[in-house]
Structure 1
Amino acid sequence: METRHKESGFTLIEVMIVLLVLSIFIVIASSVSVTADRNLAESFENQLSQDLHYAQLKAITDKTYIQFQLLPAESRYVIRMGTGVSGKILLERRIPEQVEFNSNSSLQSFRYTPVGNTNTFGSMRFFVNGDHLAFHFYLARGRFTIEK
């Protein structure tokens, strides 16, 4: 009587196919994560830029002072009418967890005048997923530039 050895194992080809499929999943997952981080940075930059333009336009159209106030301890920023903290809040946004305020910033609060100019100059600096992002404001022009 002949005995057959029953081997329970995987062939080299089966193991290679499984490793190939796993490596494809890992590559796809890591690229999705990098894309999500990049989208967050662009989203924060675009949203803050649009909100600053809104504040400037509101100051010009309503012929009033509009204050922008960054509150890093509370992870938010506020846009309000007038020059003090008692002014009507026009807009309030939370800053995403991945965005960190850089303490080297020279600007946390400023006002747009009724003609759309800023009352001060300086920079708001952030770290977005470890990357540097800065908004530079120029005195009496109302303009700002974005540095990445």
Structure 2
Amino acid sequence: MMEMMLTLFIISTLLMITAHAIPEKHENSTDQEVKNIAFFFQVAQTNALNKKEAHLVEFDRVNHRITIKNGFGQALEVYSLNTCRILQGGLPGFLYKSNGDTNAFGTIRFDCMGEQVSFIFQIQKGRFRIER
């Protein structure tokens, strides 16, 4: 009985050690973060279209957050980045007009666990593309 208990103890200890040593798969979390950012921009555009009012998208480079504000400056949605960081330079923010168009064009760059990801915005119809 003691031998069996000792064997189970050793096996469970080895399993606990190896389970913590398994590396995390960061590619999947980076891909998910990029999808979440793109979805957040689409939410801002959809809200502007549905409410027929402009919505401002601001980038907080210190706290690594993206905020959607209404025309009165009230924050409607806030997305805190998990695996990506907003890089300096690029767009400080932009406006989705009531018709879904943006008021600015340019690029916002993110560092997602060492991978550079750029969201490039066009003025017409609020379109953007993602470059990796």
* TM-score, normalised with respect to structure 1: 0.71
3-state SS of the aligned residue for 1:68?
strand
| Equivalent pair of 1:120/1:140 in contact (CA under 8 Å) | no
| Equivalent pair of 1:56/1:142 in contact (CA under 8 Å) | yes
- Equivalent in the alignment of 1:101: 86
3-state SS of the aligned residue for 1:146?
strand
C-alpha separation in 1, matches of 2:68 and 2:99? 17
Between the two proteins, the alignment pairs up a number of residues equal to 115
Ranges in structure 1 where 5+ consecutive residues have no aligned partner: 1-20
| Equivalent pair of 2:40/2:79 in contact (CA under 8 Å) | no
Larger RCO: Structure 1 or Structure 2 (Cα < 8 Å, ≥ 6 residues apart)? Answer: 2
C-alpha separation in 1, matches of 2:35 and 2:84? 13
Ranges in structure 2 where 5+ consecutive residues have no aligned partner: 1-13
C-alpha separation in 2, matches of 1:29 and 1:89? 40
C-alpha separation in 2, matches of 1:91 and 1:118? 18
Query: Between Structure 1 and Structure 2, whose CA radius of gyration is higher?
Result: 1
Aligned-residue identity in percent: 24
Q: What pairs up with 1:115-126 in 2 under 5 angstroms?
A: 115-126=99-110
Structure 1 vs Structure 2 CA RMSD? 1.9
After the TM superposition, which segments of 4 or more aligned residues of structure 1 sit over 6 Å from their partners?
none
